[in-house]
Amino acid sequence: MNPLANAPLTNLRRLFWLRTLMAGVIGIAAWAAMTMFEVTLKPGVIIGALVLMSALNTFTWWRLRRPLPVGHLEMLTQLLLDMAILTGLFFETGGYTNPFVWMYLLPLAVAAVSLSWRQTWLVAALSIACYSTLMFWYEPLPIMQMDMSGMDMANMTAEQHMQMMHGHHESGFSLHLLGMWAGFVVSAGVIAFFVERMGRSLREYDQLIAQTREKALESERMLALATLATAAAHELGTPLSTMAVVAGEMADDCAEQPQLAQSVALLRSQIDRCKTILTSITASAGQQRAEGGRRQALDDFLSGIVSGWQDTRPATRFECRLHGPLPAPVIAVDRTLGQALVNLLDNAADASPEQIELDGEWTPTDLNLTLRDHGPGLSPEAESRIGTPFFTTKEDSGMGLGLYLARIILERFGGTVQLSNHPQGGAVTRIRLPLAALRV
């Protein structure tokens, strides 16, 4: 499974266990406060908070068993629900004087490592706002009412509350609570800034590892195909030579039969073409620049590819429009790049033997080609799997390697190839190729 796609699911699973731990700590703390320290709490409030957390965890457990992907919005919603439950609980159990008010940092820590920086700062701002609000509006614990000399802190105005905090230095307790709030604000900012950046770096590192692994797999596939092609070229050389000898003898025997001699000549020309292709494969295997970096203008290179391809598919009506500023950029000719373009032309002609169209435009830095066929277009399955090895839409022929090899070759030079359906029917292949990697 892709580790990047699995990360949000893993984070949701960790949130499930973190919420379970929070519920356990709250339950044990409430039991200890009421039995060991004889603090008067509202059992209904504690039980209600635990029930809500259990219900949210039950939904999360059900959600973890579904095959649907976990999005950032879903994760953010669960964290905000946790904060809402904690806010309601702390309001009824002493507000900011509750020693467990630091639990606001737990959803923030989860957000910092799993969400975007905007969502992380949203959670940080809301946690600070909830903590600050609980400084003025809350139901004080009975023990706190005694510590504060019987003051009714729940009914104080904000101004009276701040005067009490700054005016009762003799107790030092209000200053301690103000310090707790300041420490929470600083901690929330540190988590939102530094932990979020560390989480982002880890996600970027995981993405880089996944991309590197994918490229390594592509290289292994290409090496296997190159080895297979070289072996096939070697093994096919002998039967092609035999066929060439037999075709030569047939040409001699049919010298007085013009129609049959024409067919034999065509057969010999196709055999010679096969031998040329095999020789090219053998010479190109494992080489990045099979033609030794020969220099050629881009427009001449494209015209040569198009002209050579038209000779092999004379029955297909081909409309080609290539233009760009002249003189065209000079590139180092690469045999594999030409083969990639031929593969794409072959695919289009196989889908639409009657007519295909090629529009190309180059700039000093880029080459953009648009190839359209008038065939049946791409099915939903083909759109999702097109370009993968050994997937083909051709019923009678095709190994599913043409488009795959073209994509790999273009990506080696920094290019891209994209296929989509045309609004008026058929398929469109869009090719973008930066010329920097082909500069002389």
Q: Give the pLDDT of residue 78.
A: 95
- pLDDT score for 174: 62
Q: What is the mean pLDDT of residues 359-371?
A: 90
In a domain, 24, yes or no: yes
Structural contact between residues 352 and 418, judged by C-beta atoms closer than 8 angstroms: no
| Contact assessment for residue 360 and residue 368, using Cβ atoms and an 8 Å cutoff | yes
Comparing 397 with 413, the larger pLDDT belongs to 413
- If one compares 312 and 434, the residue with the highest pLDDT of the two is 434
Contact 358, 321 (CB under 8 A): yes
Confidence of residue 175 (pLDDT cuts 50, 70, 90): low
Domain annotation covers residue 431: yes
Share of the chain above pLDDT 70, in %: 75
Q: Are 437 and 426 in contact (CB under 8 A)?
A: no
192 domain-assigned? yes
Average per-residue pLDDT for the chain:
78
Where is average pLDDT lowest: 24-38, 117-131, 172-186?
172-186
Average pLDDT over residues 276-283: 65
Helix axes 173-190, 158-167, angle to 10 degrees: 110
Q: Token pair of 433, please?
A: 């190729």
Q: Do 207 and 352 share a domain, yes or no?
A: no
Ramachandran assignment for 398, one of left (phi > 0), alpha (psi -120 to 50 degrees), beta (any other): left
Residues 315 and 356 in one domain: yes
Mean pLDDT of 331-358: 84
Residue 421 located in a structural domain = yes
User: Residue 178 has what pLDDT?
Assistant: 64
pTM of the model: 0.49
- What is the spatial distance between Cα 380 and Cα 185, in angstroms, rounded to a whole number? 51
**Structure confidence at residue 74 (pLDDT):** 93
Comparing 200 with 234, the larger pLDDT belongs to: 200
Asked whether the beta carbons of 328 and 362 are under 8 A apart, the reply is yes
Q: What is the pLDDT of residues 50-109, one digit of tens each?
A: 999 999 999 999 999 988 888 889 999 999 999 999 999 999 988 888 888 888 988 888
Helices (H) and strands (E) counted in the chain, each on its own, are 14, 7
Q: Which two tokens stand for residue 410?
A: 């273009």
Among candidate residues 199, 215, 231, the one where a domain is terminated:
215
**Which pLDDT does position 173 carry in this prediction?**
58
* Pair (253, 361) in one structural domain: no
How many domains does the structure of the chain reveal? 3
Please report the pLDDT score of residue 267 as a whole number: 84
Q: Check whether residue 36 and residue 165 sit in a common domain.
A: yes
What pLDDT score was predicted for residue 91? 94
- pLDDT computed for residue 56 by the predictor: 96
The residue length of the chain stands at 440
Tell me which residue range forms the domain holding 117: 3-215
pLDDT at 172: 45
| Cα–Cα dist 260/134, whole Å | 99
pLDDT tens, position by position, 17-26: 989 988 998 8
Residue 290 lies in a domain: no
Check whether 422 has a pLDDT greater than 60. yes
Q: What is the pLDDT of residue 287?
A: 46
Q: Is residue 112 part of a domain?
A: yes
The residue among 198, 215, 232 that closes a domain is 215
Average pLDDT over residues 338-367: 87
| 229-243: average pLDDT | 70
